[in-house]
Amino acid sequence: MKVPALFNDKNFYRNLFAVSLPIMLQNLINSFVNILDTVMIGRLGTVEIAAVGLGNNVFFFYSMILFGIGSGAAIFTAQYWGRQDIPGIRKNTGFCLLLNLSGALVFTLLCLFFPENIMRIYSRDPAVIAAGAVYLRILTGSFIPFAISQVFILTLRSVEKVRLAMVTTFIALSINAVLNYCFIFGVGPFPAMGIAGAALATVISRIAEMIVLLAVSYAKKYPPAGGFRELMAFNSPFVSRFIKIVLPVVINEFVWALGVSLTNIIFARTHTDAVAAYNITNTVSQLTWVLFIGLGNGVAVLIGKKIGEGDEKTARDYASRIVRFAPIVATGAIFILVPLSALFPFIFNVNEQVLVAARIMIIILGISYPFRAFNMTMVVGVCRAGGDTIFCTFYDVGFMWLIALPLAASAAYFFHAPFWAIYVCMSLDDLFKMFLGLWRYRSGKWLHNVIN
Q: Is pLDDT at 1 greater than 60 in this prediction? A: no
How many Å apart are CA 193 and CA 135, to the nearest integer?
11
Alpha helices in 186-233 (DSSP H): 195-219, 228-231
Tell the burial category of 398 from Cβ atoms under 10 Å away from its Cβ (0-12, 13-18, 19+): middle
Q: What is the mean pLDDT of the chain?
A: 85
Q: Is pLDDT at 202 greater than 90 in this prediction? A: no
Q: Among candidates 126, 129, 45, which has minimal Cα distance to 351? A: 45
pLDDT of the residue at 36: 67
Count CB neighbours of 75 within 10 A. Answer: 29
% pLDDT > 70, the chain: 96
pLDDT of the residue at 259: 86
How many Å apart are CA 8 and CA 3, to the nearest integer?
12
Task: Tell me, rounded to whole angstroms, the distance of Cα 391 from its chain centroid.
Answer: 20
SS (H, E, C) 274-289: HHHHHHHHHHHHHHHH
Q: Among candidates 288, 306, 282, which has minimal Cα distance to 381? A: 306
pLDDT band for position 2 (50/70/90)?
A: low
Q: Is pLDDT at 111 greater than 70 in this prediction? A: yes
pLDDT of the residue at 192: 84
Helix axes 195-219, 126-139, angle to 10 degrees: 30
How many Å apart are CA 393 and CA 90, to the nearest integer?
26
How many Å apart are CA 69 and CA 279, to the nearest integer?
26
pLDDT in tens, 231-283: 998 888 888 888 888 888 888 888 887 887 788 778 766 777 777 788 788 77
**Poorest-confidence range of 62-66, 203-207, 433-437?**
62-66
% pLDDT > 90, the chain: 23
How many Å apart are CA 392 and CA 369, to the nearest integer?
20
pLDDT of the residue at 195: 85
Backbone angles phi, psi at 291, to 5 degrees: -60, -45
